[in-house]
Amino acid sequence: MPGSKTDRAPVITLDGPGGSGKGTVSLILARRLGWHFLDSGALYRAVALAARRRGMKLDDEEALGRLALALPVQFKYSEINGSPSILLEKDDVTLVLRGEACGADASQVAALPAVREGLLERQRAFRTAPGLVADGRDMGTVVFPDADLKIFLTATPEERARRRYKQLKDKGMDVSLVSLLEEIESRDARDSNREVAPLKPAEDAITVDTTGMAIDRVVETIMALWAEASPGR
């Protein structure tokens, strides 16, 4: 049947707050399944960074919407582990995009409807055979409402702050645990309370609380859910 689930590449969506493990888990899942991977947060971060570099105001919705639509961003996937490098106007911005300043700016521009609209089709274009693992906040609610499996990953704010701390320290960045926790809590509030595409589980999403769970166990849990959701695939 045209337009039905069966004639489209399958999608698994992983939504949830920052530090819930989505990024790492999505990448491992994509590798295990041999599927494509969409890091939608990186797109919002890239809009924010491009806007800063162009000296734009982060509340100029019309201009930011136009920027999102024509964003000169490219993902390059490593042959070795599938991990993406992100190029903005041919400049490798992978590291700077992960910084806390860029995350805070991204959360601000992500609240603007024109920015979300401007990134919509670009995100949907990632859905190609053999399948897609999509990581974000509104993957299951807005971008891929007909996804084959929707996961909502959570963890306590304290656990998420500890994970982010370790991640950033490992990358050689200088951060404080207390300020990370504050940042996580204020970003959660902003992402959950915004009017467009707020962070919330889709009605048909399965919530997995990853507090105290090792990454491998989270991956196995989701692989088992996928096996259940797609018998015979």
Positions in the binding site for ligand DC (CB under 6 A): 18, 40-41, 44-45, 103, 106-107, 110, 136-138, 187, 191
Task: Tell the smallest beta-carbon distance from residue 128 to ligand DC (Å).
Answer: 19
Task: Tell the smallest beta-carbon distance from residue 23 to ligand DC (Å).
Answer: 7
Task: Tell the smallest beta-carbon distance from residue 228 to ligand DC (Å).
Answer: 25
Helix then strand then coil, % of the chain, to nearest 5: 50, 15, 35
Placement of tokens 């000169």 in the chain: 72
Task: Tell the smallest beta-carbon distance from residue 46 to ligand DC (Å).
Answer: 10
CA distance 151 to 26: 10
Q: Say how many CA atoms lie within 13 Å of 69 toward its Cβ.
A: 10
Which helix or strand (DSSP H or E) is residue 153 part of?
A: strand 149-154
Kindly tell me which of 10 and 103 has the beta carbon lying closer to ligand DC.
103
Task: Tell the smallest beta-carbon distance from residue 71 to ligand DC (Å).
Answer: 14
- Type of residue at 174: D
Kindly tell me which of 171 and 230 has the beta carbon lying closer to ligand DC.
171
Kindly tell me which of 119 and 222 has the beta carbon lying closer to ligand DC.
119
Kindly tell me which of 10 and 13 has the beta carbon lying closer to ligand DC.
13
Lateral strand order in the sheet of 132-136: 36-39, 132-136, 11-15, 149-154, 206-209
Kindly tell me which of 116 and 232 has the beta carbon lying closer to ligand DC.
116
Task: Tell the smallest beta-carbon distance from residue 206 to ligand DC (Å).
Answer: 18
User: Closest-CB residue for ligand DC?
Assistant: 41
Task: Tell the smallest beta-carbon distance from residue 40 to ligand DC (Å).
Answer: 4
Kindly tell me which of 96 and 233 has the beta carbon lying closer to ligand DC.
96
Whether the CB-CB separation of 99 and 5 falls below 8 Å is answered with no
> Beta-carbon neighbour count of residue 52 at 10 Å?
14
Kindly tell me which of 18 and 34 has the beta carbon lying closer to ligand DC.
18
CA distance 139 to 144: 6
**Residue 34, phi-psi category: left (phi > 0), alpha (psi -120 to 50), beta (remainder):** left
CA distance 63 to 65: 5
